């Protein structure tokens, strides 16, 4: 599945039974990947099926993404929307390797799997702004990419903004939505758009799927995404560049409320919000609080946080629920 800074490998079973894993390389100017299994998922609980399914990620085809633009000439690095009213385009999954066969000129299969970033360079994949979590929605099959930030975009000789990464010196990050052609997660072509360009809603470079920006929450540095039972998108942040603590946010991604982003919780100073999980009954929200109090100048003698118990700061997992037992967000 390639050697790079995997933030994760999130899977969905395609219509034909093949398992597809989506991955991001958590680094500035690196790539989105997907892996399509050779074998198909067996949907039962037998010992034979379990043994078979445990092998599904052992062999398959590794792809890297190239995102093409519809309005390339209008992208100036400011975050201004093109005249068609959206950052969007089509894309291609470029085949890198399958088994012992390399599809990258001048590289063996072993070299592709070991030096996967160089393989992405060689085939002209799209250099992204720190693609961390890449999650398929199990309800719609659409894929959502958390691009945390890239303050080096457009600086010096570094690549300048493009339609998929529309801001130079991108401090706040954005979310990309991919839709595989024919609704088939094994497809080699897709369409894409940017529903959320993060930051302070008063900043003209931000965008929230066209929703009224006076009614949305500020957000910076998306890190992980998750979905609730209704298909809403939840976003956790890491490294908030707005001067406030990180947090967990949610928005609808279908219908008239698409882009209506609301903050759900805030974590302590210096902490990262990580690994959100919403139970299938929509009644509990779990989140990991990583490295609370981790800021410059903090020490044991002068800590920046004493979360969660008033002693020295410790990471932990938090669960939230409604006192009346109702669904979160209802």
The mean-pLDDT minimum among 7-11, 58-62, 125-129 falls in 7-11
β-pair type (60-67, 88-98): antiparallel
> Does the pLDDT at position 32 exceed 70?
yes
pLDDT digits (tens, 9 = 90+) for 74-99: 999 999 999 999 999 999 999 999 99
Compute the mean pLDDT over every residue in the chain, rounded to the nearest whole number: 97
DSSP state of 4: S
Angle at 209 between CA 91 and CA 201, to 5 degrees: 125
Helix or strand holding residue 117 (H, E) = helix 116-123
What tokens were used for 197?
Answer: 């360009």
In this predicted structure, the answer to whether residue 196 has a pLDDT above a threshold of 70 is: yes
First to last CA, the chain: 40
130: left (phi over 0), alpha (psi -120 to 50) or beta: left
pLDDT at 13 over 90: yes
User: What pLDDT band is residue 329 in, cutting at 50, 70 and 90?
Assistant: confident
DSSP letters, 10-52, are EEEE-TTSEEEEEEEB-SEEE-EEEEEEEEE---S-SHHHHHH
pLDDT at 105 over 90: yes
**Token digits for 15?**
């219509």
Using the Cα atoms of residue 125, residue 126, residue 130 and residue 135 in order, give the sign of their dihedral: negative
What pLDDT does 292 receive?
97
Summarize the confidence of residues 183-209 as an average pLDDT.
Answer: 98
Residue 7's pLDDT band (cuts 50, 70, 90):
confident
| pLDDT at 58 > cutoff 80 | yes
**Structure confidence at residue 36 (pLDDT):** 99
Tokens representing 3 are 């050697």
Can you give the pLDDT at residue 303?
94
Residue 279 has pLDDT above 70, yes or no: yes
Provide the pLDDT for residue 330. 66
User: Residue written as tokens 């967990």?
Assistant: 248
State pLDDT tens for residues 141-185.
999 999 999 999 999 999 999 999 999 999 999 999 999 999 999
- Is there a contact between 225 and 235 (Cβ–Cβ < 8 Å)? yes
**List of residues 6+ apart from 164 with CB closer than 8 A:** 67, 69, 87, 89, 126, 128, 176, 192, 194
Q: Is 207 helix (H, G, I), strand (E, B) or coil?
A: strand
| Euclidean distance between CA atoms 180 and 177, whole angstroms | 10
Summarised one tens digit per residue, pLDDT across range 240-272 is 999 999 999 999 999 999 999 999 999 999 999
């Amino acid at each position: 599945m390639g050697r790079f800074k995997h933030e994760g490998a999130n899977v969905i079973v395609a219509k034909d039974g093949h398992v597809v894993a989506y991955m991001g390389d958590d680094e500035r100017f690196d790539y989105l990947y997907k892996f399509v299994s050779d074998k198909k998922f067996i949907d039962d609980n037998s010992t034979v099926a379990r043994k078979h399914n445990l092998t599904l990620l052992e062999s398959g085809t590794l792809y890297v993404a190239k995102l093409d633009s519809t309005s390339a000439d209008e992208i100036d690095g400011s975050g201004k929307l093109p005249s068609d009213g959206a950052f969007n385009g089509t894309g291609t999954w470029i085949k890198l390797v399958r088994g012992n066969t390399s599809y990258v000129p001048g590289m063996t299969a072993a070299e592709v799997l070991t030096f996967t970033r160089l393989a992405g360079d060689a085939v002209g994949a799209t250099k992204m702004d720190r693609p961390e979590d890449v999650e398929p929605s199990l309800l719609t099959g659409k894929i959502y990419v958390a691009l945390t930030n890239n303050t080096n975009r457009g600086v010096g000789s570094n690549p300048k903004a493009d339609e998929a990464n529309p801001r130079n010196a991108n401090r706040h990050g954005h979310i990309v939505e991919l839709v595989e052609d024919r609704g088939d997660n094994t497809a080699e072509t897709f369409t894409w758009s940017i529903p959320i360009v993060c930051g302070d809603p008063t900043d003209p470079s931000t965008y929230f799927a066209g929703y009224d920006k006076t009614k949305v929450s500020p957000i910076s540095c998306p890190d992980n995404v998750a979905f609730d039972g209704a298909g809403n998108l939840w976003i956790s942040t890491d490294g908030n560049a707005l001067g406030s603590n990180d947090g967990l946010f949610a928005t609808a991604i279908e219908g008239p409320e698409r882009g209506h982003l609301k903050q759900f919780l805030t974590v302590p100073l210096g902490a990262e919000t990580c690994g959100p999980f919403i139970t299938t009954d929509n009644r509990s929200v779990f989140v990991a609080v990583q490295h609370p109090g981790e800021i410059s100048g903090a020490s044991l003698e002068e800590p920046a946080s004493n979360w969660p118990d008033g002693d020295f700061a410790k990471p932990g997992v938090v669960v939230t629920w409604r006192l009346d037992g109702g669904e979160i967000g209802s």
